[in-house]
Structure formats: structure tokens, C-alpha cells
Amino acid sequence: MKISKLIKKAGFMIAGVTLLSGLAACSSTTRGGGATEGALQEGDLIGISMPTKADQRWNVDGGNLVKELEAAGFKTKLAYANNSPSQQSTDINNLVSAGAKAVVVASVDGTAVGPAVQQAKDGGATVIAYDRLIMNTEAVDYYVTFDLERTGILEAETIIRRLDLENGGGKDIPYNIALFAGSDDDNNAPYFFKGAWDLLQPYFESGQLVDPSGIVTKDFTVEDWKKISVHAWDQSQAQKQMDAIMTKLGDQPLAAVLSPYDAISLGVMKSIKNARPDMTPSIPFDAKNPTNKSAWPIITGQDGMDIAITNIYYGAQEQTVFKDVSLLAKQTTTLIKEISEGKTPSSDKKPMNNGKKDVPTWLMQSDELVKEPTGDQKGLDYVVETGFITEDQYQKDIKAPIIE
Ligand code: BGC
């Protein structure tokens, strides 16, 4: 073929491509910012489905999402599922029927919610898993959460330090520790536990730590986590499980309790108070005098709940892993805004697999709150600084009675 013919042919092909892409552009009518008809647009309704009002953090999360999304020009509708998976499915259906173009879901049960989000997706809505991953479904577009293992890492590091395990604490007489994991239907729970167990297991191996219940031994693995899980993160369920451990403990000292959530910590404390009235928060476990039976164990937690602020202030709880949930609401809003502008959000973090797909994931950073912070730790009033609670509420917290 002659060069001139080639050029002619190439010119035709280029024109053809242009023509085809022009047709493609025409076939999807555009509104406003150039996004596709039917897709999420600025001003649209965003449905928010939260697990329960009974837990302090989800109230703050819901409020933050409404505030951020409305400030970005969206309408919102917020539903709480009373910790019931079937109620949450109804909520999501209702949000989509009300016209939601995206649903933000903090699931009660990460697997049970699958069919409802599939329906939302089929109805054209974008699905964002909020804090907890939605499992075993293709119908989840994005996931925003905190660095999950970090929760367990911060909790375990505190236990290791306070029990002086690195310097041989528990070598002569093993230290008793009780361990709890989160809810069996929450994909976050094994990650929290993994963060802690990777650090604590070596001390079970060396014999410095023992679980009086006998459930957790050096051979326990992260896959066994459901043996120590607390269904629905429920405080009274945690109390019952701790009662059984206290029976096995008898009159021995208790050095520590790994708890992944402040309400579980509270259930644990109530159990200790009933079973061992001799133990008192005014005498915290001291690695220099580990045989003191009256010593109160080092207890961890998560969320910076009011009750945890009180208990840490008075020494009944050692720390809480605090999540500045305003960051999560802001990140969710950024995603929704980008989608409404026709962009595809991209994260530099590793996607998380939900059993069916790799879900693009955004991770926020949590902080450890203690009474007397050192290094990277934060003081208790950080909950006020981040807007999680008001100064008034904080003042009430640090005047409230402990373990009521
Ligand atoms: C959240 C934690 C919370 C727990 C109980 C988890 O999925 O990530 O922040 O403490 O649920 O509500």
C-alpha cells in the first residue's frame, strides 16, 4: 500500500474512533457535572444505615455523616437498626425506596446484610461499607474504616508494658490474663484480635501468661477467635463470660484483661467486682508485687465511651483505643462527592477482600487514650478536642462514679 493510501486509511480509522466515542458519549445523557444519568449527583439523597443507638459511637457517627454530607450539598436520611440484622435490611430497602443514590452501611451482621445491599445495588445505588466490611457479596463498592489490627496492637503493647513482660514478668509465677474478642458476626473482630494475639502469644509460649479458663493456650490461633468472642459486643454477655473465668480463677491474682471494646470492659469489671470484692481499682496490678491478690487487673478497651473516660480517670481501666470518627465521615463524604463529580475514587491502601471481591479500602488512624499520656498517647480530653463529646459531658464523665 502506498504511503498516501496508508495515511488516508489511518485518517479514516481515527475519524471512525472519534465518531464511535462520540456516539458512546451521546448514549449516556449527562447532567450537571458530566456524570451519567441515573448515577449519583450532587444534591441527591444519601441513605445512612447505622447498627444501633444503644452504643455511643454510632450516634456520633450518624450525626457526623449527616453534618458532613449536608454541608457538601447532599440530602440525607439516617436509620438505626436496633442491632437487628433483619431491621437493617428493612432500613436499607426503605432508604433506597426513598430515593437514596448511595447507601452508607455500618452493618450489624456483615454477612446477613448482603442481600439488602445487593438489592440497593440492583436499584442503582452506590454501596459504601462504613467501619465494618460487608462480606461475601459483589455488591459493595467502597470500604472506609480504621487500621483494624492497630486496635489490638495498642491494647497488647499496654499490657506487655504494665506487666513488664519484656523484662521477665510472669517468669517465676505465671500471670493470669483473661482474653476477649469482639462479636462473631463482625469482620473487624478477628483483625482486632490478631493485632493483640501476635504480640501476646509469645508470652503464652514462654509460660509468662496463662488464661485461667484454659481456653487460650500457646497453641491458640487467630482462627480460633470465635471461642472467646462476645456476641453483639454485648456488655451482659461479656459479664457472663467473665463470671465463668472468675470461677476458674478462684482466689488467685489476675494481672490483665484483653478487652476489645469499652462496654465489654465494663461487663468484665462488674463481674470482677461481684466475684472478688477484695480486688480494688485503687490498687492497680504492679509487676513489682505480682502476688498481691487485691490488685485490680490492667484492663483495655476501645471507643473512648463516656464510661471508659470515667473508669480510666479513676484507674479501673488502663486505656481505650479511640477512633476519631469525624475522619471517617469526612472520608465517606469525599468519596461520595468524587463519585457525584463523575470521578472514580482511588485509595493508596491495600484493598480488603470480603470473600467475593477486593473492595477498595481507606484506613484512618486510631489513638490510644490514657490518664497520663507519654509518647504518642493522648490524654483523656482528646475526646473533646476531636468533637466526640462536649466539654460539659467530659466534666460529667470525670465526676461520675465508676463501674456502676
Ligand atoms: C467497631 C468498634 C466498636 C465495636 C462495637 C466495631 O465494629 O469497629 O469501634 O467498638 O464495633 O460497637
pLDDT, one tens digit per residue, over 7-66 is: 444 443 433 333 333 333 333 333 334 444 468 999 999 999 999 999 999 999 999 999
pLDDT of residue 7: 41
Percentage of the chain lying above the pLDDT 70 cut: 90
300: confidence class by pLDDT, cuts 50, 70, 90: very high
* Residue 163 structural domain: 7-15+148-323+368-398
Q: DSSP of 304-340, one letter per residue?
A: --HHHHHHHHTTSS--EEE--HHHHHHHHHHHHHHHH
211 lines ligand 1 (CB under 6 A): no
Question: φ, ψ for residue 197 (rounded to 5)?
Answer: -65, -40
The mean-pLDDT minimum among 200-214, 219-233, 363-377, 390-404 falls in 390-404
pLDDT of residue 33: 40
Q: Is residue 374 domain-shared with residue 360, that is, in the same domain?
A: no
Average pLDDT of the segment spanning 166-192? 98
Q: Is residue 93 domain-shared with residue 113, that is, in the same domain?
A: yes
Q: Is residue 120 domain-shared with residue 219, that is, in the same domain?
A: no
In-domain check, residue 404: no
Q: Return all residues near 374 (Cβ < 8 A) that are at least 6 apart.
A: none
Q: Is the pLDDT of residue 267 over 70?
A: yes
Taking the centre of ligand 1 as the mean of its atom positions, its distance from the CA of residue 122, in whole angstroms, is: 29
Taking the centre of ligand 1 as the mean of its atom positions, its distance from the CA of residue 314, in whole angstroms, is: 24
Q: Is the pLDDT of residue 304 over 80?
A: yes
Q: Is the pLDDT of residue 263 over 90?
A: yes
Calpha distance 287→307 (Å, rounded)? 26
397 lines ligand 1 (CB under 6 A): no
Average pLDDT of the segment spanning 139-145? 98
Q: What's the grid cell of residue 262?
A: 469499652
Name the residue at shortest CA distance from atom 9 of ligand 1.
303
Taking the centre of ligand 1 as the mean of its atom positions, its distance from the CA of residue 23, in whole angstroms, is: 48
Q: Is residue 127 domain-shared with residue 174, that is, in the same domain?
A: no
- Per the confidence metrics, is the pTM higher than 0.85? yes
Q: Is residue 201 domain-shared with residue 61, that is, in the same domain?
A: no
Instruction: Tell me 175's DSSP state.
Output: E
303 lines ligand 1 (CB under 6 A): yes
How many domains does the chain divide into? Answer: 2
pLDDT, one tens digit per residue, over 317-369 is: 999 999 999 999 999 999 999 999 999 999 999 999 999 999 999 999 999 99
Calpha distance 198→222 (Å, rounded)? 8
Average pLDDT of the segment spanning 290-316? 97
55 lines ligand 1 (CB under 6 A): yes
C-alpha neighbours within 13 Å on the C-beta side of residue 219: 2
Taking the centre of ligand 1 as the mean of its atom positions, its distance from the CA of residue 131, in whole angstroms, is: 8
Atom number in ligand 1 closest to CA 262:
10
In-domain check, residue 20: no
Taking the centre of ligand 1 as the mean of its atom positions, its distance from the CA of residue 144, in whole angstroms, is: 13
C-alpha neighbours within 13 Å on the C-beta side of residue 35: 17
Q: Is residue 190 domain-shared with residue 139, that is, in the same domain?
A: no
Q: Is residue 143 domain-shared with residue 230, that is, in the same domain?
A: no
Q: Is residue 141 domain-shared with residue 288, that is, in the same domain?
A: no
Atom number in ligand 1 closest to CA 192:
8
Average pLDDT of the segment spanning 267-282? 97
Q: Is the pLDDT of residue 135 over 90?
A: yes
Look up the CATH number of the domain holding residue 342. Answer: 3.40.50.2300
234 lines ligand 1 (CB under 6 A): no
Average pLDDT of the segment spanning 255-275? 98
186 lines ligand 1 (CB under 6 A): yes
pLDDT of residue 402: 83
Q: Is the pLDDT of residue 1 over 60?
A: no
Q: Is the pLDDT of residue 107 over 50?
A: yes
203 lines ligand 1 (CB under 6 A): no
Calpha distance 361→9 (Å, rounded)? 46
Q: Is residue 236 domain-shared with residue 303, that is, in the same domain?
A: yes
Atom number in ligand 1 closest to CA 52:
12
Average pLDDT of the segment spanning 218-233? 98
Q: Is residue 330 domain-shared with residue 319, that is, in the same domain?
A: no
Q: Is residue 207 domain-shared with residue 113, that is, in the same domain?
A: no
Q: Is residue 105 domain-shared with residue 202, that is, in the same domain?
A: no
